[in-house]
Structure 1
Amino acid sequence: MLDANIGTQLKGYLDNIKRPIELIAALDDSAKAKEMRDLLQEIADMSSQINFIEDADSDPRKPSFQIKQPQGDEKIRFAGIPMGHEFTSLVLALLHTGGHPTRLDEEVIEQIKSLEGEYHFETYISLSCQNCPEVVQSLNVMAVHNPNISHTMIDGALYQEEVDKRQIMAVPTVYLNGENFGQGRMTLPEIIAKLDTGAVKREAEKINQKDDFDVLIIGGGPAGASASIYASRKGIRTGIVAERFGGQVMDTMAIENFISVKETEGPKLVAALEEHVKEYEVDVMNLQRAKALSKKDKMVEVELESGAILSSKTVILATGARWRELGVPGEREYRGHGVAYCPHCDGPLFKGKPVAVIGGGNSGVEAAIDLAGIVGHVTLIEFNGELRADAVLQKKLFSLDNVEVITGAQTTEITGADGKVNGLIYVDRATEQKHTVSLNAVFVQIGLLPNTDWLQDTIDLSKFGEIEIDNHGQTSLPGVFAAGDVTTIPYKQIIMAMGDGARAALGAFDYIIRNEFDEKDTKAA
C-alpha cells in the first residue's frame, strides 16, 4: 500500500520505538477495511515492537483501529485511514505511544498532566484538510501524556452518516465528551488554554513582568517573521505578539510562486519560518491578541486582550488580513454549517452534492476547479460582467462539465433550513431579476480584509482600512511601522510581505539609532 520510498522512511522512523505497542483493528467486509488491514499489517511487519490484532468488538466504528500499549488503556484511535495530510499524525502516534519522546517543553507537559477530569475528544477531519493534522496531533500528544485523555480521529468522508447526523459542515470539528468543543484550526496551546481556565491570567502576569523591547512586532505571519529575524540580527531586543504563528498562510494550500521553492504548502512554509525565528533571540508570545496602541512619551505601549501591557521603543504592525465576508443575510448564521472559506478543508464533506463558489478571481476559480473533482456540481457566481482570474485558470474551468459560471450576479442572501445551508439567492445585475440556486454549501472567495479594527483613530488608514505607510514602512505615528497585507502595498503576496517585513525592521532600527532613549523612558536600561 505504501510506495517504496515512504515505506523505507517509515521503517527508519519505527526503529525509534522503545516499547511494544498494539494496533487493534475493528474491521468489516468493506473495501476500506481491507485497505486498512493491509496498511496495518504492512506497518507491523516493519517493527518487532508492533503487534497487529483484529478484534471486531474493539470499536463500534468499522473500519477503525487503536494504538495502545499491551497493558495500557485505549488512548488514540483512527476511524479512517490516516493517509494524505494525516499520515504524519499516524507516524507520530506510533512513535509517541512506543516511547519516543514528544517535542514539548517540560512546562507544557506538566500543564497537560495537571488537567483534571475525563476528556474524550473526537475530531472530524478530511484527508485533504491542511489544518486538521495539527489538531489531531495536538490531541494525540495530550492523550500520550495524560491517562485521563483519549482521542479519536474520524474521517468525515468515510463516516458520512455520522457527519450528517451531527450536522458537521466544516473541518476540523472537535467534540469533547459528546459536546461541540471547537471548529477550525487549533494549536496545542489554544486547546490547553480552553481546558485550563487559569492559563490566560497566569500568562498575562508573566507578560506584564517583561522588560521593554526595542522592536515589538504584532503579528506572526510572513511579514512579522521576516521583521523579527531582521531586527534580531541587529542585536536589539525583539518580541512578537501573535494570535497564531503563521497567520493566513496556514490556510493556504498550494504555494507555487515562492521564488527558489518550486512548490510547497502553507503549513510547511510556516514550520520553516518558525524554525528560522527560533534561531534568534526573539521572544515569541503566542495566543495573544492586541487590543490597543498608544504613545507614552517616547515609548509605544500595546495593550493585549488578556490585560497585559507591553512597552517598546518601536512597534511593527504585521497583523495581516482575514477572509472578506459577503455581508448578506444567512452568511454568519450558517458559517460552519454550509458557509465555508476553505475549499481544500471542507470540500470533501460535500462529496457528490451541489455547491457554489462566490468570486471570479484566481482564488475563486481555483476553488471551483478543486471542488469540481469532489462535489456533484459547482455554480461559480461573479459580481462583475466577466471573470478576473488568469487565462490559464479560466481555460481549465470552462473545460469542466460539472461547473456553471454566472457573471454579472450579486448574491443577496444565503438560505437554510434545519440549521444548514440549502441555497442562495442572487440578482442578475443586467435584468434585476432574482434567481434561487438550491445547494448544500457556499464557498466565499472574494478577497481579504486588513486586521485593523483595533487601530481606528490611532493611525492613518486608507479608505479600505489598510495602514498607510511611507517608503520606510513608517506609519503616521512616530515609532510605529507596518508591513505586509495589513498595509497599502498593492500586491498581497507572501514574498512581498516578507520583503516588507524586512524593510519595516530596518526602518525601525534606523528610527532607534536616530532617537535618544534614556532610563526614564524605559523600564530596562
Structure 2
Amino acid sequence: MSDSIYDVIIVGTGPAGIQAAIHASRKKTKVLLLGRIENSALYPAHVENYACIEGVKDGRQLLETGMTQAKRFGAERLAEDLLKINQQENGLFAVETESGKTILCRALILAMGTAKTKLAVPGESEFAGQGVSYCVDCDANFFRGATVMVVGNHSAAIDGALTLLDYARQVYLAATELKVSEELLRRLHESKVEVLAGRRVKEIRGGDTGVQEVLLDNNEAIKTEGVFIELGSKGALQLAAQIGVQMDMELFKYIDVNRRQETNIPGVYAAGDITGPPYQMAKAVGEGCVAGMEAAVYARNKQKQQS
C-alpha cells in the first residue's frame, strides 16, 4: 500500500465497491479499496438473476473475480475495517483503519452495505431506544457516568467499547471470539474495558426506566444501563455520523444520494445497499459504476485546484 494521498478511497468490497474501484481506476486515478470480501452479503449467496450471466453463480467467486479485475486496472486493496473518518481543513478526508493506519484521500465512496445488527434475544426490541442502541458514535453521550455493555466480536465492538470509556463509568465487552487486528486487540487489553470472553447475551432485562441488566449464557446477570449492539464492522450510520453525511429522513437508516451518487458532503459518494432497497446486485453494480466515475472526476478537479 502506498503512503501517498489517494484520489479515491472506497469503503466496502461488495459488488458496489468493487465496481466503483474498477471504474475509478480506469480513469487513471489512484484508488484504494478497503474491507474484506467475506463481509459482503453477496459472499455466501448464489446469483442467477444477473443480466448476461448464465446459470447459478457463486457469490464468493464473483467477488474474487471482481477483485482481480479491480487490481488489474490499478486499484490497491487493504483488507481492514474502517473505524473513523474526518475531513481536514484542506478538504482532504482522513480515514483510520483497525490497525491504526491513517490514510488521506480526495474523494470517498461509502459502499459497505447495510449491517445486520440484530441479536434476536428477548428484550432487545422491547428496550430499543430505552437503553439498547446500535450506534456508539450516535448515543454515547446519553450514557455519561453509566455502566454499559458492548456486544460483538469485530472492530465496531472493540472501537465502540474504547470510545465509551470517555463517557461511561464502567464498560463491559461481551464477545464470543475476538476477530480483529493485533493492534486493536492490544489497545483493548491495555484499556479499562472489562472483557467477558466467550460470553453470549441470552436476554436483555429492564423495567419502566429502561435496561437494567443483561443475562449471559452462563446465567450470570450483569447490571447495566445501556447495551450497544455492534456486530461486524462500522456501518453506514456510524461512519456517516462522523462527517455529517445526511441519512434518509424517514427511517434514518440509509444514505441520501442524488443521481450522481453524491451525498450532501462534497467529495463523499455512496452506492449499493447503503443507499436503500432494492437489495440487488444489479442495483449495486450500477450505482458503483456511477460513484466510481463521479468520484474520480471530483478527485482530479480537486487535485488541479490544490496544485
CA drift at 1:220: 0.7
Answer yes or no: is the 8 Å Cα contact 1:255–1:263 preserved in 2. Answer: yes
- Find 2:74's aligned residue among 276, 281, 288: 281
Work out whether 1:485 is the aligned partner of 2:277.
Answer: no
Q: Which residue of 2 aligns with 1:213?
A: 6
CA drift at 1:246: 6.4
Q: Which residue of 2 aligns with 1:454?
A: 239
1:505 aligns to what SS in structure 2? Answer: helix
Paired residues in the alignment total: 198
Q: Distance in 2 between matches of 1:248 and 1:309?
A: 27
Aligned AA for 2:266?
P
- Find 1:506's aligned residue among 280, 293, 297: 293
Structure 1: gaps spanning 5 or more residues = 1-206, 332-412, 421-448, 520-525
Displaced runs of 4+ in structure 1, greater than 4 A? none
Answer yes or no: is the 8 Å Cα contact 1:481–1:504 preserved in 2. Answer: yes
Q: Which has the larger Rg?
A: 1
Q: Distance in 1 between matches of 2:273 and 2:66?
A: 17
Aligned AA for 2:4?
D
Q: Which residue of 1 aligns with 2:43?
A: 250
Cα distance change on mapping 1:470 and 1:290 into 2, 3 Å: same
2:42 aligns to what SS in structure 1? Answer: helix
Answer yes or no: is the 8 Å Cα contact 2:236–2:255 preserved in 1. Answer: no
- Find 1:322's aligned residue among 100, 105, 115: 115
2:299 aligns to what SS in structure 1? Answer: helix
For 1:240-263, what per-residue CA distance to the aligned partner results, in whole angstroms no more than 9, with x for missing partners?
1113466121121x3111111232
Work out whether 1:313 is the aligned partner of 2:106.
Answer: yes
- Find 1:471's aligned residue among 259, 267, 276: 259
Cα distance change on mapping 1:260 and 1:273 into 2, 3 Å: same
1:323 aligns to what SS in structure 2? Answer: coil
Answer yes or no: is the 8 Å Cα contact 2:37–2:43 preserved in 1. Answer: no
Answer yes or no: is the 8 Å Cα contact 1:315–1:479 preserved in 2. Answer: yes
**What pairs up with 1:125-524 in 2 under 5 angstroms?**
210-244=3-37, 247-252=40-45, 254-261=46-53, 262-286=55-79, 288-296=80-88, 297-325=90-118, 327-329=120-122, 451-458=236-243, 459-462=245-248, 463-488=251-276, 490-515=277-302, 516-519=304-307
2:279 aligns to what SS in structure 1? Answer: coil
CA drift at 1:328: 3.6
Identity over aligned pairs, percent: 27
Q: Which residue of 1 aligns with 2:200?
A: none
Answer yes or no: is the 8 Å Cα contact 2:81–2:98 preserved in 1. Answer: yes
Answer yes or no: is the 8 Å Cα contact 1:219–1:245 preserved in 2. Answer: no
Aligned AA for 2:76?
D
Q: Which residue of 1 aligns with 2:230?
A: none
CA drift at 1:481: 0.8
> Greater relative contact order (Cα 8 A, min sep 6): structure 1 or 2?
2
Structure 2: gaps spanning 5 or more residues = 125-202, 205-215, 219-233
Answer yes or no: is the 8 Å Cα contact 2:8–2:299 preserved in 1. Answer: no
Answer yes or no: is the 8 Å Cα contact 1:220–1:240 preserved in 2. Answer: yes
Cα distance change on mapping 1:454 and 1:512 into 2, 3 Å: closer
Q: Distance in 2 between matches of 1:455 and 1:226?
A: 21
Answer yes or no: is the 8 Å Cα contact 2:267–2:298 preserved in 1. Answer: yes
CA drift at 1:322: 2.8
2:27 aligns to what SS in structure 1? Answer: coil
For 1:325-349, what per-residue CA distance to the aligned partner results, in whole angstroms no more than 9, with x for missing partners?
2654288xxxxxxxxxxxxxxxxxx
Q: Which residue of 2 aligns with 1:103?
A: none
Aligned AA for 2:287?
D
1:251 aligns to what SS in structure 2? Answer: coil
Answer yes or no: is the 8 Å Cα contact 1:239–1:283 preserved in 2. Answer: yes
Q: Distance in 2 between matches of 1:247 and 1:451?
A: 14
Q: Distance in 2 between matches of 1:453 and 1:246?
A: 17
**What pairs up with 1:35-74 in 2 under 5 angstroms?**
none
Answer yes or no: is the 8 Å Cα contact 1:300–1:313 preserved in 2. Answer: yes
Q: Distance in 2 between matches of 1:243 and 1:302?
A: 16
Aligned AA for 2:239?
W
Answer yes or no: is the 8 Å Cα contact 1:241–1:285 preserved in 2. Answer: yes
Q: Distance in 1 between matches of 2:237 and 2:43?
A: 20
Q: Distance in 2 between matches of 1:492 and 1:222?
A: 11
Q: CA RMSD in A?
A: 2.8
1:314 aligns to what SS in structure 2? Answer: strand
2:87 aligns to what SS in structure 1? Answer: strand
Answer yes or no: is the 8 Å Cα contact 1:473–1:500 preserved in 2. Answer: yes
Q: TM-score, structure 2 length as denominator?
A: 0.58
Aligned AA for 1:468?
D
Q: TM-score, structure 1 length as denominator?
A: 0.35
2:41 aligns to what SS in structure 1? Answer: helix
Q: Distance in 1 between matches of 2:38 and 2:8?
A: 17
2:306 aligns to what SS in structure 1? Answer: coil
